[in-house]
Amino acid sequence: MSDKKVIFVAGGAGYIGSHMTRLLLEEGFKPIVFDNLSTGFREFVPKEARFVRGDLRRERDIENALERYRPSAVMHFAAALVVPESVSDPLKYYENNVAAAITLLRAMRRQKVKRIIFSSTAAVYGEPQRIPVREDNPACPVNPYGRSKLMIEAILKDTAYAYPEDFRYISLRYFNVAGAHPAGGIGQKGPQITHLIPNILRAAMGSKKLTVFGKDWPTPDGTCIRDYIHVVDLCQAHLLALKAFDRGVNNEIFNLGSSKGFSVKAMIRAVEQVTGKKVPHRYGPRRPGDPARLIASSKKAREILGWRPRYGLDEIIETAWQWENR
């Protein structure tokens, strides 16, 4: 018998997974963090959570953990997630993301774990036909990262169709996740941070000039537009998804974004305002794999999950700034 309170958090030592683990503990769940620490950090895992060092590409590692802890659901955060890297090293993305997901699903089947909340991405849309993009917009990814996540969504759908009594999923398509826990201690970390907000903040700190990738995009100011969402709000949506399973919400896809778009130039201005520091920057060529505009319609998550994001752009920048200044 599975234990309703036990949740298996694959990738729970990473940036988003560690925020989720904290939230699960706060809500009285028992998270089992499963992570190979390739991009995660042991110190991000609270001592109240169980930690299993293991690799999703090794079925035995997963099965042992599932057998031992009997979770009622899996949250799957473990993945390679850097868009430009996926263009230069696509096989890494198909192996780390697609192959590992198959291994995880097989282990779940064998151990009779029936529910999964999957971390998908706005990158599945590619260059959306309509903005804000809804879940029924055709998915035409423009980079291997987005394609790897779309493949996994197809695998989830087929698996749910094949085993309707024994397998259910909710796929959450994240837009640009940023910010850090207001209480500190966890955040975006690593030798190769490629994401915009940490890079702008580091430029504001004087460590490295920001390069803006392209100023000739088909947008009002020529720079790319993205929809930024606070990591804690994002994790709240996972808790709501977990509860939604109990109401019979199954095999659904939800966008998670703020429904507001900000250009790279607007982000630089916002950081300058919040931090009171200048952001030294220059313009470089477009970055391969980037779509021009991504803004979410999150109506479905609001209506079906009852999701209400609480943090705005200033709080995203403030909490990320606190983290960078730790």
List contacts with ligand UFG (CB under 6 A): 81, 83, 121-123, 175-176, 194-196, 199, 210-213, 224, 226, 264, 287, 290, 294
Tokens at residue 101, please? 């997901």
Tokens at residue 289, please? 């794999």
Residue nearest to ligand UFG (CB): 224
Q: Which is nearer to ligand UFG, 51 or 311 (CB)?
A: 311
Position of tokens 């009285």? 28
Q: Which is nearer to ligand UFG, 61 or 290 (CB)?
A: 290
Q: Is 94 a catalytic residue?
A: no
Q: How far is the CB of 112 from ligand UFG (least distance, A)?
A: 31
Q: How far is the CB of 45 from ligand UFG (least distance, A)?
A: 22
- Residue 162 CA: distances (Å) to CA of 98, 159, 226, 320: 19, 5, 36, 43
Treating both helix axes as pointing N-terminal to C-terminal, what angle do 100-110 and 59-69 enclose, rounded to 10 degrees? 40
Of residues 304, 309, 303, 292, the one with CA closest to residue 256? 309
Q: How far is the CB of 155 from ligand UFG (least distance, A)?
A: 18
Tokens at residue 105, please? 């699903």
Tell me which DSSP letter residue 134 carries.
P
Q: Which is nearer to ligand UFG, 44 or 213 (CB)?
A: 213
Tell me which DSSP letter residue 293 carries.
B
Tokens at residue 285, please? 């060529």
Q: How far is the CB of 311 from ligand UFG (least distance, A)?
A: 17
Q: How far is the CB of 264 from ligand UFG (least distance, A)?
A: 5
Torsion of CA 48, 52, 55, 56, to 10 degrees: -70
- List 145, 169, 174, 311, catalytic entry: 145
155 in Cβ contact with 101 (< 8 Å): yes
**180-186-189 Cα angle (round to 5):** 90
Q: Which is nearer to ligand UFG, 93 or 175 (CB)?
A: 175
Q: Which is nearer to ligand UFG, 33 or 294 (CB)?
A: 294
| Residue positions annotated with a catalytic role | 145
